[in-house]
Amino acid sequence: MKLAHILASAPDAELHGSGTAEITALSCDSRRIRPGTLFFALRGTAADGHRFIPQAVGDGAAAVVLEDAAFAPAGIPWVRVADGRSAMARMAAAFYGDPTAVLPLIGITGTNGKTTTTYLIEAILAAAGMPAAVLGTISYRFGATTITASHTTPESTELQAAFRRLADAGAKAFVMEVSSHALEQKRADGCHFDVGIFSNLTRDHLDYHGSMEQYLHSKERLFAELLQPTAAKPHKRAAINMDDSYGAQVAGRAACPVISYGIDYPGDVRPVEVAITVNGISGTLATPKGEFFFASKLLGRFNLSNILAAVTAGIALDLPLTAIKSGIEGHTIVPGRLERVGNSFGVTCLVDYAHTGDALHNVLATLREIATARVITVFGCGGDRDPGKRPIMGQIAAQMSDLAIATSDNPRTEEPLTILAQVRAGITPLGIREYSPEELAARPAFDEKGFVVLENRRAAIRLATRVAQRGDILLLAGKGHEDYQIIGTTKHHFDDREEAIAAFGEKTPGCLP
């Protein structure tokens, strides 16, 4: 593709040199330059891409996009732009044929519930005859095509390449998780959204954003900027969870019509009558298209909110109620989201991704509603991330469980015991008994609410399965679908589901009550 054709997507671009250069690849990583690459010199938190322009040119870059003309290369075309990240996103869309300009794109942003909601919307679209590709935390996938997820929302060049590949595989729509990091870094600026969903906002990623206000501001970009109606897509809609305390503010910033939803809030989409049991969620929902009865196998009030979000997206796309109902009822499981681990000991063992205070509270509130015996929770907090949420998660886990086992999550480059000390700081003021691992292992039928601190996650899961008895609920929280643990800077294979299966395999029949 000619450079001039790519630049047509960025009207503010100032071309210096010929626009006839043939571009065969895009990259903002100077280590991945090959002949014919258009190199984007971006300013990052750790390094300034302008300083790598000579390396990129030496490796065969056909042209360079930059912000600072003082770094302009000699001998090849260069393009000056005001905002390199935004320009890269738009140019990447043009380079890959702008697939989201012609296919529906639904984006969901929020702290919790994004992945489950994308799966629900995928099922609704399939029922409506619009097979959709899903781009999210777990993977970017459509049918037999799966692209490993490097981030919830990848760099714009990767994102647009994924859209192209998934569209070529036959996708008729896209459903995408949109992270706050991606919105802040303008990775989604080249996307043409039809529907944007705001699920909720709770404390997370403050190590990056610095404050809840800035975190919210990042989320609002989807609604205030990327959902502005265009000639190609004049009928954009925002689906807003008005149960959330930030919902009204997000709705007020939306550049397109809003369709509200809520469990308690009397929104455009709302439950009329609903029952939440150990078998799932069922009831009647009211929508602008009319009411319908549904029955879902998902568990808990927070999943009812996810269902409402997916239904609202279906309404925003003007899909038939029959397809919306069929999609909600046909969806069964999301990897690592209250995923059951079978065993022969009568223990309900569930693996969930809950890694924020709000997500952990929501999951445990659901389990407490359906519990007939004890609730045992294994959880941890990630290293090199917001330390302020650690005591909060400790307090929630200890208050809402009969036994809370605090352990490592992904400690990364932090000392695990330092993380656990911060978790313990949220528990000790509660006056809850602390057991030693040895004491608890010796008396699995503990009769007093308590907590344990055990650094090794594998040992923590084995201790939990040892003390779990028939009728108990065992929650392994924090890692969900992840099949690794990051210690230092190294990824080690570790899957809570595999560990639970192995631990139950070591449990003897004598452990049965």
> Of 189, 165, 225, 224, nearest to 10 (Cα)?
189
What whole-number distance in Å separates Cα of residue 91 and Cα of residue 108?
Answer: 23
For range 164-168, the mean pLDDT: 96
Q: What is the pLDDT of residue 259?
A: 98
Q: What is the pLDDT of residue 153?
A: 63
Q: What is the pLDDT of residue 391?
A: 97
42 pLDDT above the threshold of 50:
yes
Confidence at 181, pLDDT banded by 50, 70, 90: confident
What whole-number distance in Å separates Cα of residue 200 and Cα of residue 198?
Answer: 6
Asked whether the CA dihedral 122, 184, 65, 193 is positive or negative, the reply is positive
152 pLDDT above the threshold of 60:
no
512 pLDDT above the threshold of 80:
no
Q: What is the pLDDT of residue 513?
A: 36
183 pLDDT above the threshold of 70:
yes
What whole-number distance in Å separates Cα of residue 463 and Cα of residue 500?
Answer: 10
Q: What is the pLDDT of residue 279?
A: 79
Q: What is the pLDDT of residue 208?
A: 52
CATH topology classification for 339-511: Protein-Tyrosine Phosphatase; Chain A (3.90.190)
Residue-wise pLDDT tens digits, 118-142: 999 999 999 999 999 999 876 789 9
Encoded tokens for 20: 């006839």
Confidence at 476, pLDDT banded by 50, 70, 90: very high
Which pTM does this prediction carry?
0.82
Tell me if 283 sits within 8 A of 277, measured CB to CB: no
What whole-number distance in Å separates Cα of residue 355 and Cα of residue 508?
Answer: 31
Asked whether the CA dihedral 275, 276, 279, 284 is positive or negative, the reply is positive
For range 66-86, the mean pLDDT: 96
Residue-wise pLDDT tens digits, 318-342: 999 999 999 999 987 788 989 989 9
Residue-wise pLDDT tens digits, 293-312: 999 989 889 899 999 999 99
Return the CATH number of 99-330, one of 3.40.50.300, 3.50.50.60, 3.60.40.10, 3.40.1190.10: 3.40.1190.10
Q: What is the pLDDT of residue 136?
A: 86
Asked if CATH classification 3.40.1390.10 holds for the domain at 3-95, the reply, yes or no, is yes
| Rounded percentage of the chain residues whose pLDDT exceeds 70 | 96
Encoded tokens for 214: 């800035």
Classify residue 276 as left (phi > 0), alpha (psi -120 to 50) or beta: beta
- Return the domain boundaries, the chain: 3-95, 99-330, 339-511
Any idea of the CA torsion for 392, 454, 483, 297, to the nearest 10 degrees?
Answer: -60
Q: What is the pLDDT of residue 209?
A: 46
Which of 61-70, 171-180, 194-203 has the lowest average pLDDT?
A: 194-203
Amino acid identity, position 107:
G
Q: What are phi and psi of 449, to 5 degrees?
A: -55, 140
Tell me if 388 sits within 8 A of 203, measured CB to CB: yes
Considering the chain, what is the average pLDDT of its residues? 93
Which of 26-30, 69-73, 369-373 has the lowest average pLDDT?
A: 369-373
